[in-house]
Structure 1
Amino acid sequence: MRSKNLHANFKWSSWLFGRPGKSKVPVIFFYGNLLLWGYPTYFFKILPVLYNAFWEWHIIFALSNVLMWIFFLKASLMDPGFLPQDTEEYHYAVRQAINFNDWKNGKNPLGRLCHTCHLVKPLRSKHCCMTNRCVSYFDHYCPYIYNDVGQRNRAYFLGFLLTMCINCLFGIYLCWNWFQVEGQSLLIGLGCLFLIIIGFVSAVMTGMCLYMAAMNITTNERVNAKRYFYLMDKTGKFYNPFDRGLRLNLLEFVHLIPPLSFDKIRRRQISEI
């Protein structure tokens, strides 16, 4: 009977907080801070005091929060770019590997195969150990959205970071003006300190994501550049064949133009290196 209760408790805690190695605690922390503390403090403490003098700020703050939630839910709930599993191309590659003539030269024809998803990994994809799926244009796994950041949701993730940073700046400004009217308050003071910390972190992350978008490279590629043959020139130095210039890189990032094909990337490498 005791073992059944322990098993039931484990299943309940796993459903609420996530399985080991893929915790839901960060995303629960985000929800909890906003819904149980941040918004109640704003609506019941700050808004009644400052609305008449700063009504324009409150409207902009509300709109920015709506945008933040839209971006957050899109980045969190949508498919980030999961690749199809158990493909025929994978099984064909495995069957043909025995006939590969360059094994003796150190070349591995199975290097691009994912034996978990049973697929041939396209350029810029990676298998994520958290979601246990291969993701197109894999950037990283983010515990605060409880999802991978990949080709399909990376623009929404950037929007989430940017609007969160803006909301923190608005919140700090409103807290400062509340202090001028009402004086000191431990609750508002702690809230302001929390906004300063989150605002700084989100600003740094926003800057990093904007830089990656401007350079047309993923976080995974930049951190692990030495692992990818297509990010090195003939001398072994870092080379980014996807960089098309700031404007085109940003247009590609938000899906307004298609990415370069593999053939075009190879031609760029041959002509520029």
Structure 2
Amino acid sequence: MAVCLNPGVPPEFPGEALESKDGELGDYAPAPKQCHKCLKLKPPRAHHCSVCKTCVMKMDHHCPWINNCVGINNYRYFCLFMFFLAMGCLYYTVLGSRLFFQALVPARKRTIKLKFEDIQCVTLSWLVSICIFCAICLLGGFHLYLVLTNQTTIEFHTNMAGRQIARKRGEIHRNPYDLGMSRNFQQVFGPNTFFGFRWLLPYVARRPTCNGLEYPMVSDFRA
């Protein structure tokens, strides 16, 4: 799904965009923006991908490993892909550690008979698995932070710059989409409780409710 699913291409400008709002925002709604590159509607948090040649709603980045953009439609699948990949690498790293260390000792001291081809396969597979596991833990940890703070990779860098500017002015910069960890998590994985673990099974879990054109903000929850 992370590879094949459309990451979330916005509608054409302006007909489909105006129809999708159904007049809910009234006359005071801000004028819709148009991307000057692909000429599609450019809703908040959307960015133009130079590889895909189109805008992507809530674009995080273009991932060469899945050969697809990571956007609002497939971000949760991308996160689950990293999680299950890490678990698979950890599984082999733990179960294959005995064979790996047996392959390192001289042949006369081995308790398990291994052919030369077996040693090559075991050592290469174990080293690749542990390297991928370490790399995924770093990348996955970063994206876990993004999920819990309701940011994309692009917004993370933007907010970092915003904090530096606000600090120089003696002000406090806050991400307007940060609704708290629980709501932030549900923005990505849908209205599913974390300890229910249904979010681990996307075909069973409820889908996210956001349409990619509008996003809840902190100001919407203030009394």
TM-score by length of 1: 0.56
For residues 173-184 of structure 1, what are the structure 2 equivalents within 5 Å?
A: 173-179=94-100, 180=102, 181-182=112-113
Give the letter aligned to residue 80 of structure 1.
P
Matching residue of 1:83? 10
Which ranges of structure 1 fall in alignment gaps of 5 or more residues? 1-73, 91-108
Q: Does 1:245 align with 2:180?
A: yes
Matching residue of 1:169? 90
Q: Does 1:116 align with 2:43?
A: no
Question: In the aligned structure 2, how far is the partner of 1:89 from the partner of 1:259?
Answer: 17
- Pick one of 195, 209, 212 that aligns with 2:129: 195
Deviations 1:43-91 (A, max 9, x none): xxxxxxxxxxxxxxxxxxxxxxxxxxxxxxx00000111112353489x
For residues 10-21 of structure 1, what are the structure 2 equivalents within 5 Å?
A: none
Whether the 8 Å contact between 1:89 and 1:119 is mirrored in structure 2 is no
**If you compute each CA radius of gyration, which structure gives the higher value, 1 or 2?**
1
Question: Alpha-carbon deviation of 1:191?
Answer: 1.5
Identity %: 27
How many corresponding residue pairs? Answer: 177
Deviations 1:73-111 (A, max 9, x none): x00000111112353489xxxxxxxxxxxxxxxxxx99x
Give the letter aligned to residue 217 of structure 2.
I
Q: Aligned to 2:99, what secondary structure does the other structure show?
A: helix
Question: In the aligned structure 2, how far is the partner of 1:149 from the partner of 1:76?
Answer: 9
- Pick one of 66, 78, 83 that aligns with 1:157: 78
Q: Aligned to 2:38, what secondary structure does the other structure show?
A: coil
Question: Alpha-carbon deviation of 1:177?
Answer: 2.6
C-alpha RMSD of matched pairs (Å): 3.4
Whether the 8 Å contact between 1:87 and 1:118 is mirrored in structure 2 is no
- Pick one of 51, 57, 63 that aligns with 1:130: 51
Whether the 8 Å contact between 2:159 and 2:175 is mirrored in structure 1 is no
- Pick one of 153, 158, 180 that aligns with 1:219: 153
Give the letter aligned to residue 9 of structure 2.
F
Matching residue of 1:142? 63
Which ranges of structure 2 fall in alignment gaps of 5 or more residues? 18-30, 103-111, 192-207
Question: Alpha-carbon deviation of 1:263?
Answer: 8.9
TM-score by length of 2: 0.67
**Do the aligned partners of residues 133 and 237 (structure 1) sit closer, same or farther apart at CA in structure 2, a change above 3 Å counting?**
farther
